[in-house]
Structure 1
Amino acid sequence: MIYGIGTDICDVRRIRESLARHGDRFADKILSEGEFATWKARSARWPERGVRYLATRFSAKEAFSKAIGLGMRMPMTWKLCEVRNGPSGKPAIVLQGALKDWFDARHLSAHISVTDETDYAASFCVVEAAPTSLEEISR
C-alpha cells in the first residue's frame, strides 16, 4: 500500500552558488559521511560532476521527506538519510538513527529515482507500507 509520494526538482545553479558562498560547509550539512567522501572524490576529478552529485542528493532527500510526510523536521534530517547507488547504479535510500527507527516502526520501504541535466536535478520517491494484518492483505 502506498504510504506517500514525493517529488522534487532542484536548480543545479542554486547548489553551485551555495557551494561558492559556503564551501564544504554547505555539502557537509546536506550529505552523510559516505556521501561527503563520494562528493569530494567526484569534485576533485570534475568539479561540475560534484555539483550535480550534491544536487541529486539534495533533491532525493527532499522528495523522500515529502513522501514520508515530515518535510525537514525530526526525525527527518539531512544526515540521517543517505542515497546510495547499488552495483547496477540503482539508487536506494539508507536511513540511520532515529529516522531509521521511525521508518521501521511503520513497516515502510522506499523507492527513489534521481536524474540530472545541465541546470536541474529531479527526484521521485514512493514510500510503501507493508500490510500489517490479514484484513489489509485481502483489500
Structure 2
Amino acid sequence: MIYGIGTDICDIRRIRASFGRHGERFAEKILSGGELAVWRRRSARWPERGLRYLATRFSAKEAFSKAIGTGMSGPMQWQLCEIANRPGGAPQVVLHGALQSWFAERGLRAHISLTDESEYAASFCVVECADETRIQAPGSQP
C-alpha cells in the first residue's frame, strides 16, 4: 500500500547561487558523510558535475520528505537521509539514526528516481507500507 508520494524540481542555478554564498558549508549541511565524499570527488574533476550532484541530492531529499509527510522537520534531517547508488547505479534511499528508526517502526520502504537536465534536477519518491495497519499519521507514536 502506498504511504506517500513526493516529487520535487530544483533549479540548479539556485543551488549554484547558494553554493556561491555559503561555499562548502552548504554542501556539508545537505549531504551525509558518504554523499559528501562523492561530491568532493566529482567537484574536484568537474565543478559543474559536483553542483548537479548536490542539486539531485537536494531534490531527492525534498521529495522523500514530502512522501513521508513530515517535510524537513521531525525525524527528517538532511544528513540522516542519504541518496546512494546500488552497484548497478540505481539510486536508493539509505537512512541513518532517528530517521532510520522512525521509518523502520512504520514498516516503510522507499523508491526514488532522480534526473537532471541543463538547469533543473527533479526527483520522484514513492514510500510504501507492506502492512496498512501500521500506517500512522506523521509525528504520531507507533
Relative to the length of structure 1, the TM-score reads: 0.94
Aligned mates of 2:4, 2:53 — CA distance in 1: 25
State the partner residue of 1:129: 129
RMSD of aligned C-alpha atoms?
Answer: 0.8
Aligned residue for 1:114, secondary structure, equals strand
* Letter aligned with residue 83 of structure 1: I
State the partner residue of 1:79: 79
Aligned mates of 2:105, 2:71 — CA distance in 1: 18
State the partner residue of 1:49: 49
Closer/same/farther in 2, CA of residues 102 and 43 from structure 1, 3 Å limit: same
Unaligned stretches of 5+ residues in structure 2? 134-142
Equivalent pairs, count: 133
* Letter aligned with residue 54 of structure 1: L
State the partner residue of 1:29: 29
Unaligned stretches of 5+ residues in structure 1? 134-139
State the partner residue of 2:136: none
- 1:111 aligns to 2:91 (yes or no): no
State the partner residue of 2:17: 17
Whose radius of gyration is greater, 1 or 2?
A: 1
1:74 is displaced (CA, Å) by: 1.5
1:88 is displaced (CA, Å) by: 1.1
Aligned residue for 1:100, secondary structure, equals helix
1:132 is displaced (CA, Å) by: 5.8
Closer/same/farther in 2, CA of residues 122 and 29 from structure 1, 3 Å limit: same
State the partner residue of 1:68: 68
- % same residue: 71
Relative to the length of structure 2, the TM-score reads: 0.92
1:43 is displaced (CA, Å) by: 0.3
Aligned residue for 1:79, secondary structure, equals helix
